Amino acid sequence: MSVLFTGPLEPFGQTLLTADDPRPVTTLAELLQPSRMDALLLGLYGPDLMPAHLPVLVSQWAKYYFMQVIPPLMAAGLVQEWYWPLHLDQVAVALDERGVPAGVKLLARGESLRERPVDPFQRFAGLLDDNLQPVIKLLSVYGHVSRGVLWGSAGDYLEACLTQLGRCSNVPLEKGWALLTHPQRPDGRRNPLFQAVSYVEQADGSAPRRQRRTCCLSHRVEWVGRCEHCPLPA
C-alpha cells in the first residue's frame, strides 16, 4: 500500500491503515448500527448535546469519516488507477480516544483500475454507490439529517482533495472533477455531488470565496460555530 502513496502523494495515504496496523477497528456495517452510534455520540458530545442536537452531531461525525476515506481512494484511483471493494462490511474504521474516525482499513483485496470502465461514475462506483451512498442513507435516517447536507460534506472534501491533487500531481483529474460538474449520472439519475462547492465573486474585488452548496448545520451548536465555507448569510 505504501507504494501507492510516495513523495507528494504521501499525505493522501495517511488515513489508510495497513493490514498489520494494531489499532482496533470496527466495520461500517457494525459501527452504523443505531445502538452503537447512540453510545458513540453520547461519549463524544455528552448528554447536553446528545440527543437534543442529533442532526448536527451526525453531520459533524460524518465529516470526519469523509475526511478519512475520500483522499486515499481518490488519489489511488486517479493517480495510480487502483481500486478496493468498499461495501460496508469491507471497510473498517479506527476511532480515536474521543470516538472520532481516525483511519480506515480496507479489508478486501485491491486491484488495478486500468481494465475498468472509463466513465467516471462507473469507475468510482465503489466509492459512490457501495460506500458513500449507504453510509449517507443510514446516517440520514438515524440522525434525522438531510441526505443533501451529508452529500454536501462529501463533495466538500472531494473538491478539496482534487484541488490538492492538482497542486502536487500532473496526472489528469478530469474523471474526478466530473463527479462534481455533471448534474446527472449516465443513467439519468441526479448527481448528489453536483456543484457541492462554488467560488463566489466578492464585491470588494478580493479573491472569490469558497462556499459549500449546503449548510452542514454546525452553526446550530454555539461551541461548534459556523464552518469556514458556510453558504448562509453572515
HEC string for 143-198: HCCCHHHHHHHHHHHHHHHHHHHHHHCCCCCHHHHHHHHCCECCCCCECCCCCCEE
For residues 40-65, give the mean pLDDT.
Answer: 96
| Residues paired with residue 82 on neighbouring β-strands, in sequence order | 112
Q: Using 50, 70 and 90 to split pLDDT, how confident is the model at 65?
A: very high
Spatial neighbors of 208 by CB under 8 A, at least 6 apart, are 199, 200, 201, 202
For residues 112-126, give the mean pLDDT.
Answer: 84
- Which CA distances in Å does 202 have to 41, 45, 208, 218? 38, 36, 6, 24
pLDDT in tens, 16-36: 999 999 999 999 999 999 999
For residues 39-47, give the mean pLDDT.
Answer: 96
Domains of the chain (ranges; CATH) run 2-220 (1.10.510)
More confident residue, 53 or 1: 53
Q: Using 50, 70 and 90 to split pLDDT, how confident is the model at 221?
A: confident
